[in-house]
Amino acid sequence: ENKFSCPVSISAEYVETYSVSSEINLYAHMNERIILGADSRGEITKPAEIVGKQAAQVLMDEINSGAACDVHLADNIIPWLCLLGGVVRTSQISKHTQTNMWVAEQFFGKIFNVEDNTISVENRNEAL
Protein backbone atom coordinates (compact mmCIF):
# COMPACT_ATOMS: atom_id res chain seq x y z
CA GLU A 1 0.00 0.00 0.00
CA ASN A 2 1.38 3.40 -1.04
CA LYS A 3 0.55 5.72 1.88
CA PHE A 4 2.43 8.66 0.37
CA SER A 5 0.65 8.88 -3.01
CA CYS A 6 3.92 8.95 -4.89
CA PRO A 7 5.42 7.00 -7.76
CA VAL A 8 7.02 3.70 -6.76
CA SER A 9 9.81 1.96 -8.63
CA ILE A 10 11.04 -1.45 -7.52
CA SER A 11 14.11 -3.32 -8.70
CA ALA A 12 15.44 -6.55 -7.24
CA GLU A 13 18.99 -7.75 -7.50
CA TYR A 14 20.40 -11.10 -6.48
CA VAL A 15 24.13 -11.52 -6.07
CA GLU A 16 26.18 -14.60 -5.28
CA THR A 17 27.54 -14.52 -1.75
CA TYR A 18 28.85 -16.79 0.96
CA SER A 19 26.27 -15.36 3.35
CA VAL A 20 22.91 -17.00 3.99
CA SER A 21 21.44 -13.64 4.91
CA SER A 22 19.64 -10.92 2.99
CA GLU A 23 19.37 -7.15 2.99
CA ILE A 24 16.97 -4.61 1.60
CA ASN A 25 17.78 -0.98 0.82
CA LEU A 26 15.02 1.54 0.20
CA TYR A 27 15.31 5.09 -1.10
CA ALA A 28 12.81 7.92 -1.33
CA HIS A 29 13.58 10.64 -3.87
CA MET A 30 11.87 13.53 -2.11
CA ASN A 31 12.92 16.02 -4.78
CA GLU A 32 15.91 16.59 -7.05
CA ARG A 33 18.16 17.38 -4.06
CA ILE A 34 16.88 15.18 -1.22
CA ILE A 35 17.11 11.39 -1.15
CA LEU A 36 16.29 9.61 2.10
CA GLY A 37 17.34 6.02 2.71
CA ALA A 38 16.60 3.06 4.96
CA ASP A 39 17.68 -0.54 5.18
CA SER A 40 17.18 -3.76 7.08
CA ARG A 41 19.32 -6.89 7.32
CA GLY A 42 17.97 -10.39 7.28
CA GLU A 43 18.95 -13.22 9.56
CA ILE A 44 18.54 -16.97 9.28
CA THR A 45 15.52 -16.88 11.60
CA LYS A 46 14.00 -13.67 10.21
CA PRO A 47 11.58 -14.07 7.28
CA ALA A 48 12.17 -11.81 4.26
CA GLU A 49 8.71 -10.29 4.79
CA ILE A 50 9.81 -9.01 8.20
CA VAL A 51 13.03 -7.62 6.73
CA GLY A 52 10.99 -5.73 4.13
CA LYS A 53 8.47 -4.42 6.66
CA GLN A 54 11.25 -3.21 8.95
CA ALA A 55 12.97 -1.32 6.15
CA ALA A 56 9.66 0.18 5.02
CA GLN A 57 8.89 1.35 8.57
CA VAL A 58 12.32 2.96 8.91
CA LEU A 59 11.84 4.77 5.57
CA MET A 60 8.37 5.97 6.59
CA ASP A 61 9.82 7.25 9.87
CA GLU A 62 12.54 9.12 7.93
CA ILE A 63 9.95 10.69 5.62
CA ASN A 64 7.60 11.58 8.47
CA SER A 65 10.44 13.22 10.43
CA GLY A 66 10.42 16.10 7.94
CA ALA A 67 14.23 16.17 8.00
CA ALA A 68 16.25 16.54 4.82
CA CYS A 69 19.06 14.39 6.24
CA ASP A 70 18.52 10.75 7.20
CA VAL A 71 20.15 9.18 10.24
CA HIS A 72 22.87 7.50 8.14
CA LEU A 73 23.96 10.71 6.41
CA ALA A 74 24.17 12.89 9.52
CA ASP A 75 27.39 11.39 10.87
CA ASN A 76 29.06 11.86 7.47
CA ILE A 77 28.20 15.56 7.41
CA ILE A 78 29.85 16.27 10.78
CA PRO A 79 33.39 16.80 9.39
CA TRP A 80 32.05 19.28 6.83
CA LEU A 81 30.06 21.17 9.46
CA CYS A 82 33.16 21.20 11.62
CA LEU A 83 35.24 22.82 8.89
CA LEU A 84 32.69 25.08 7.20
CA GLY A 85 29.91 25.67 9.70
CA GLY A 86 26.22 25.39 8.94
CA VAL A 87 23.01 23.78 10.09
CA VAL A 88 21.54 20.35 9.37
CA ARG A 89 18.33 18.79 10.64
CA THR A 90 18.34 15.01 10.82
CA SER A 91 15.68 12.47 11.70
CA GLN A 92 17.66 11.42 14.78
CA ILE A 93 21.08 11.83 16.33
CA SER A 94 22.79 8.43 16.14
CA LYS A 95 25.67 7.17 18.26
CA HIS A 96 27.88 7.52 15.15
CA THR A 97 26.90 11.19 14.88
CA GLN A 98 27.56 11.77 18.57
CA THR A 99 30.95 10.08 18.27
CA ASN A 100 31.93 12.14 15.22
CA MET A 101 30.97 15.35 17.03
CA TRP A 102 33.00 14.27 20.07
CA VAL A 103 36.08 13.52 17.94
CA ALA A 104 35.80 16.86 16.09
CA GLU A 105 35.50 18.72 19.37
CA GLN A 106 38.73 17.11 20.60
CA PHE A 107 40.45 19.16 17.88
CA PHE A 108 38.31 22.30 17.71
CA GLY A 109 36.79 22.64 21.17
CA LYS A 110 33.05 22.94 21.78
CA ILE A 111 31.66 23.99 18.39
CA PHE A 112 28.44 21.96 17.97
CA ASN A 113 25.03 23.03 19.17
CA VAL A 114 22.37 20.29 19.09
CA GLU A 115 18.70 21.03 19.64
CA ASP A 116 15.71 18.92 18.54
CA ASN A 117 17.79 16.84 16.06
CA THR A 118 19.21 20.03 14.53
CA ILE A 119 22.99 20.30 14.55
CA SER A 120 24.56 23.70 14.04
CA VAL A 121 28.06 25.14 13.94
CA GLU A 122 28.91 28.82 13.65
CA ASN A 123 30.56 29.90 10.39
CA ARG A 124 34.07 28.41 10.53
CA ASN A 125 35.63 30.12 7.47
CA GLU A 126 37.53 32.67 9.54
CA ALA A 127 38.75 29.93 11.91
CA LEU A 128 40.58 28.03 9.15
Which residues are catalytically annotated? 96
- Residue 2 DSSP SS3: coil
Residues 6 or more apart in contact with residue 118 via CB below 8 angstroms? 87, 88, 89, 90
Report in angstroms the alpha-carbon separations of 62 from 37, 89, 91.
8, 12, 6
Task: Name the residue type at position 40.
Answer: S
CA dihedral sign of residues 66, 67, 71, 72: positive
Of residues 28, 55, 61, the one with CA closest to residue 42: 55
Task: Name the residue type at position 82.
Answer: C
